[in-house]
Chain A
Amino acid sequence: MAFIISNVFNKSSNKSIVTSFQIYNITQIREKRVVPKPKLRHPTWFTHKNRVIHDDFVTADNVGFLKEVVEDQRNSLIPKKAPTNIIDWHPGLRRTGVIARKIGNIPLWLKDGTKIFTTMLEVLDNHVIRCYSPEEYNSPRVKPTLVKNKKGCLLLGAIETDPILLTKEYCGLFKDSGVLPKKVLGRFFVSPEALLQPGTPITIDHYRVGNYVDVRGKTIDRGFQGVMKRHGFSGMPASHGVTKTHRRGGNIGGGGEKGRVWPGTKMPGHMGNRYRVAKGLKILRINRKYNVMWVMGMGIPGETNSIVYIYDTVLPLRKPSAALPFPTYFHKDEDVLPEEFYDENLHNFSDPSIVYK
């Protein structure tokens, strides 16, 4: 609105500028965006997941038969071979992430005796479900013309589940991948060089001890909360003549020209149940037998047993110095990896007690 008006002013005569300026001066710019918002479209894999279970009076024999079909499908899966055109990792390439489960916070000790708190993340049975090259992938949110260095997209699935519980459309997503339907899906933007064939498994060997990761999860749902819990306001006194305003926010704005509630004012509302990212967490220990990694810190969003997404960190100073397995780790027969990896500063519980010198 505003810039159109100013253009009009320039073209009009000097007299009209003075008068019209006085009229239009109070117009406020409330919409920052010049280009119209891109239309929100759902991703292609966004379908109904869970089937409505009707009582179909299926006989016990037929239930057994259905199970057999699923079992046959599982047995007939052919493991994917490693791609031949693998390039070496260099900074600037973006790899895929993994889907994991947060399984708890526990203390560990460093070799100098300091106690640190860590979070355990269980990497689930990840498989690539779909692969979109930069040209194919049509982002639902960002306007395509604005994006430089467009990334490809990998759709990963985790937690194999019973296909009988799922809808036909949802099961159809897994048709070309050669894996059974999965409970959880996750989308990861990757460099075009890091694209993987559908059906490729992604294991915990994708990460190395000492790397830094970002972990995205859904924060604990706390429901509708007041300002004291939601924004840490102090509230008001319990006594001294205060009535009915002990946990309320108080004033939310002034009058006059600003006589309205400003956008972003902290007020009561729904708290939690939003995706948040904890960035730059160091991997301290990896157990390959149980597919568990220990990352530094307790501030990972979500409850225990909730699903999280792990990415290579975006923080510039914590990028890895050594080469990473790229595009992911493919097991070779000559590789003999130990069951556990420890950070060099971390105390191993099998070691004798710490003695200072």
Chain B
Amino acid sequence: MFSSSRKKIISTSLKGFRCNSQTAEALQVTNRLASNKTKPSQLKFSRIYPEFLPDPKIEFRNPLREIIERMDMLNRRRNVHIPEFYVGSILSVTYSDKHNPEKLNCFVGICIKREGCGLRANFILRNIIDSQGIEILFDIYDPTIQRIDVLKLEKRLDDELLYLRDALPEYSTFDINMEAEVLPEGSEIPINPIKVKLKPRPWLERWERKNLKGVQDLELPEKFYKRAAELADTTSQYDLMKQYMKTIPVEEQYQIFSEIESELNQLEIAQKKQKRKKSFVKPVKLA
């Protein structure tokens, strides 16, 4: 079913990563690629558009389905501007809501999770409004979404910020009338080094076992860390087959993005033009 090139690559350790993680291995890959004189623009695409890559579960992949899915995704992107964003960025989503008298609704919050590939791709926004924590899950390619604005483009130290559910409320409180911060053209995405303070236990998950970087000292008795160290997965990073199965080889990423690169670039240029043409109108805040 799959191309023979993929089978051959098992022996090599070149790996492309679906997630946006800045792991040591991903950095290694970038270094090696730089030395191999490969195109850096396409690596950029796999960071900005992670949902264009095939499913991390190898048994769900099918090349034909992925081609058609990508076609649909590009068609949707021509009708709505889906900007570049990461876990940790602050977004504002305006969407049609048939339950509202204005038939429009808006939610502002921090992106705490982004997952799924193809048309299933989704993200979760979290905010605290009137001292009540609220989360909403949005499908990226949902046609009821009218516009997505990035109010603050940045990354955090972790790939998932689900621990904000157990953190003090000030860490996930954002003004719903927030002004958008515009990054200068061509600048790197800043990484916010903030360390959040968690509430005392009980928690929703055992965060001491998750190897989190963006949290302050958890102030737990020694036995918790001991147990976490016992259960830590130290071997799977050396399991080449496992890594191969859940990652997409860099060569295949090139192939995928070389097919759609020109269209993505055109979309970007068109959206930039549009931005310049009309002055920024703030989305109407409802409800």
Partner of A120, one of B1, B68, B76, B120: B68
Q: Specify the chain A residue showing the minimal Cβ separation from B57.
A: A304
| Contacting pair B144 A353 (CB below 8 A) | yes
Give chain A nearest CB distance to B127 CB in angstroms.
Answer: 23
- A115-B68 contact in complex given A104-B60, A303-B59, A352-B79, C-beta closer than 8 Å: no
The answer to the question of B103 belonging to the interface, with a C-beta cut-off of 8 Å to chain A, is yes
Partner of B143, one of A120, A292, A304, A349: A349
The answer to the question of B285 belonging to the interface, with a C-beta cut-off of 8 Å to chain A, is no
- A349-B96 contact in complex given A115-B142, A354-B143, C-beta closer than 8 Å: no
The answer to the question of B67 belonging to the interface, with a C-beta cut-off of 8 Å to chain A, is yes
Q: How large is the interface on B (under 10, 10 to 19, 20 to 34, 35 or more residues)?
A: 20 to 34
A353 to B79 alpha-carbon distance, docked (Å)? 7
Give chain A nearest CB distance to B145 CB in angstroms.
Answer: 7
| Contacting pair B59 A290 (CB below 8 A) | no
The answer to the question of A140 belonging to the interface, with a C-beta cut-off of 8 Å to chain B, is no
| Contacting pair A304 B96 (CB below 8 A) | no
| Contacting pair B120 A107 (CB below 8 A) | yes
Partner of B144, one of A103, A113, A304: A113
Residues of chain A lying within 8 A (CB to CB) of residue B60: 104, 304
| Contacting pair A304 B62 (CB below 8 A) | yes
Against A, the Cβ 8 Å flags (1 = close, 0 = not) of B60-82 are 11101101110011011011100
| Contacting pair A104 B65 (CB below 8 A) | yes
The answer to the question of A106 belonging to the interface, with a C-beta cut-off of 8 Å to chain B, is yes
Give chain A nearest CB distance to B138 CB in angstroms.
Answer: 11
Q: How large is the interface on A (under 10, 10 to 19, 20 to 34, 35 or more residues)?
A: 20 to 34
| Contacting pair B103 A357 (CB below 8 A) | yes
The answer to the question of B196 belonging to the interface, with a C-beta cut-off of 8 Å to chain A, is no
Q: Specify the chain B residue showing the minimal Cβ separation from A350.
A: B75
Residues of chain B lying within 8 A (CB to CB) of residue A104: 60, 62, 65
Give chain B nearest CB distance to A286 CB in angstroms.
Answer: 12
The answer to the question of B98 belonging to the interface, with a C-beta cut-off of 8 Å to chain A, is yes
A290 to B61 alpha-carbon distance, docked (Å)? 17
Residues of chain B lying within 8 A (CB to CB) of residue A61: none
Residues of chain B lying within 8 A (CB to CB) of residue A234: none
Give chain A nearest CB distance to B128 CB in angstroms.
Answer: 27
A353 to B148 alpha-carbon distance, docked (Å)? 12
Residues of chain B lying within 8 A (CB to CB) of residue A120: 65, 68
Residues of chain B lying within 8 A (CB to CB) of residue A108: 119
A261 to B1 alpha-carbon distance, docked (Å)? 45
A290 to B78 alpha-carbon distance, docked (Å)? 22
Partner of A106, one of B67, B69, B76, B78: B69
List residues of A (337-357) whose CB comes within 8 Å of B's CBs. Answer: 347-357
A290 to B67 alpha-carbon distance, docked (Å)? 10
Partner of A107, one of B62, B78, B139: B139
Give chain B nearest CB distance to A233 CB in angstroms.
Answer: 28
Interface residues, chain B, with chain A CB atoms under 8 Å away: 1, 59-62, 64-65, 67-69, 72-73, 75-76, 78-80, 96-98, 103, 118-120, 139, 141-146
Given contacts A120-B65, A304-B60, A353-B143, 17 further A-B contacts (CB under 8 A): A104-B65, A106-B69, A106-B118, A109-B142, A113-B96, A287-B68, A303-B59, A304-B62, A305-B59, A347-B143, A350-B79, A351-B143, A353-B145, A353-B146, A354-B144, A356-B96, A356-B103
State the 3 A-B residue pairs at the shortest beta-carbon distance, nearest first: A349-B75, A356-B103, A103-B62
